[in-house]
Amino acid sequence: MSNPPNNKSNQTIAVAVNSADNLFSKYSGSYQTTAQKVIHWACSLIIVFSLLGLAWAIPFPYLKFLGQYNGYFNWASFLIAAAVFYYYKVLPGLSYAVFVELFVFSYGVMQLDAWHKAGGPGLWLISLVIFIPAAAVQFANLKIKNTKPGVGDWLKFMIISPLWVVHFLFKKKD
């Protein structure tokens, strides 16, 4: 006699998709017009890029047990790992696209870091200069609709924003 198929994994996936859809619909409620969405998509990606750059710029200690791999890890490595893990838990299929997005951002940050090492401005300064206007435009975009999220809600939205952008890029048209 064979055992019935295990539907527990299918139920887990369904719950993750439903909770992600609920989160996305709540998130989308703040951006009604196409212009607002485009501004938000651009600004949220710029903010994530700049935050990655800021984390990259924080000095990482020399850890003897890493041996020859010292220099390959930095604080942004842990940020990327935590983000990919979180996105995988929220929506596994789209987490791979966000991983690629973060890989591209990492390449851009490495280029800015190389520019800094060649005599250009500091990575932290470039990242901060990118972050401030993008965050200001983001808040102004919310103010257009008289939406005033608290800092906590704004942080939650910023954490989920790369997944939200990818969600719209890969969304099936009805």
pTM reported for the whole predicted model: 0.74
In a domain? residue 127: yes
In a domain? residue 111: yes
In a domain? residue 11: no
Domain extent for 51: 33-59+73-169
Task: List the Cα angle 52/20/82 in 5-degree steps.
Answer: 30
In a domain? residue 19: no
18-64 confidence digits (pLDDT tens)? 466 666 666 656 566 778 778 888 888 999 999 999 999 999 888 88
In a domain? residue 103: yes
How many structural domains does the chain have?
Answer: 1
CB 24 within 8 A of CB 164: yes
The tens-digit pLDDT sequence of the chain (174 residues) is 444 454 444 444 344 444 666 666 666 565 667 787 788 888 889 999 999 999 999 998 888 888 888 777 889 988 899 888 888 888 788 888 888 889 999 999 999 999 999 999 999 999 999 999 998 888 787 777 666 666 666 666 777 777 777 777 776 554
Q: Which residues contact 37 (CB under 8 A, 6 or more apart)?
A: 28, 31, 168
Residue type at position 86: Y
CA 126 to chain centre: 19
